[in-house]
Structure 1
Amino acid sequence: MMKKYVNVAEYMEDLPQMQQEVIQIMRELVADAAPEAQETFSYNMPAIKQNGKVLVYFAATQKHLGFYPTADPIVHFADQLKEFHTSKGTIQIPYDKPLPVKLIREIVAFRVKQVTEK
């Protein structure tokens, strides 16, 4: 049975060092890309929320960082996501590749625009 965490800090404590570092970089990256958003914890993973809506989720898995920006960005950025395994609302970023910083920023900005225009 999977442990239920209450916040990002508690979640990170149980991760191996490398995954902790990747999650911390991701936290800083999404916070910088969405400065008005608040960090939250939902579905047992870190997330950022703005205007009452979650912009993105992210989580450490054994082989990759799971980035969950919802379905629309996956379609919108399909050309830039070709080197990553994706599904309806998920981008898998392997640990042996650098985080696509510019693309992550663009996806978060896209989500900010989506939740502020509705």
Structure 2
Amino acid sequence: MGTIGDYLAGLEPEQRAALQRVVDVASRLAPEAEEGTSYGMPALRLDGRPLVGITAAAKHLSVFPFSPAVVEAVAPDLDGFSLSKGTIRFTVDRPVPEAVLERMVALRLAELRR
């Protein structure tokens, strides 16, 4: 098991499934990405640079695209979600829509491949 798998194994089943979905979308769009850490959190990395990170907190889950520009680009599609400069917070009951995850990962990939 890798860094992300180890992290997910320690979560409640519902949290694990919700964050695994994020990882699955990112892995599908960037199959060459590798598990690792970035900024102290489990992350998929591409060519040594962070693609997307995930964390679980007591009351929410977070996905980190490591790019304020990416969060800003998808923000109009995330009405009602808690956003900060580099974070999208969601819950098990209200996951980030798959199309938004796909767009977020595609935008971050474009940044990394410049």
Q: Tell me which residue corresponds to 1:53.
A: 49
- 1:111 alignment partner in structure 2: 108
Residue 82 in 1 paired to residue 106 in 2?
Answer: no
The amino acid that maps onto 1:99 is V
For residues 89 and 64 of structure 1, the distance between their equivalents in structure 2, rounded to whole angstroms, comes to 15
SS at match of 1:98: coil
Q: Does 1:12 align with 2:14?
A: no
For the pair shown, the structure with the greater C-alpha radius of gyration is 1
AA partner of residue 52 (structure 2): V
Counterparts of 1:50 and 1:16, CA distance in 2 = 28
Q: CA deviation at 1:40?
A: 1.6
Aligned residue pairs, count: 112
Per-residue CA deviation, residues 38-76 of structure 1 (Å, 9 max, x unaligned), is 222334422111122101111122222201112111122
Residue by residue, what CA displacement relative to the aligned partner does 1:84-115 show, whole Å, maximum 9, x if unpaired?
Answer: 11011011012211331110110000000001
SS in 1 for 2:80: coil
CA RMSD of aligned residues (A): 1.7
The 8 Å contact of residues 59 and 65 in structure 1, kept in 2 or not, is answered as: yes
Amino acid at match of 1:64: H
Identity fraction in percent:
32
Amino acid at match of 1:116: R
Task: Name the SS for the 1:112 alignment partner.
Answer: helix
TM-score scaled by length of structure 1 = 0.83
* 2:63 match: secondary structure: strand
- Is contact 2:60–2:89 with CA below 8 Å preserved after alignment? yes
For residue 113 of structure 2, give the secondary structure of its aligned residue in structure 1.
helix
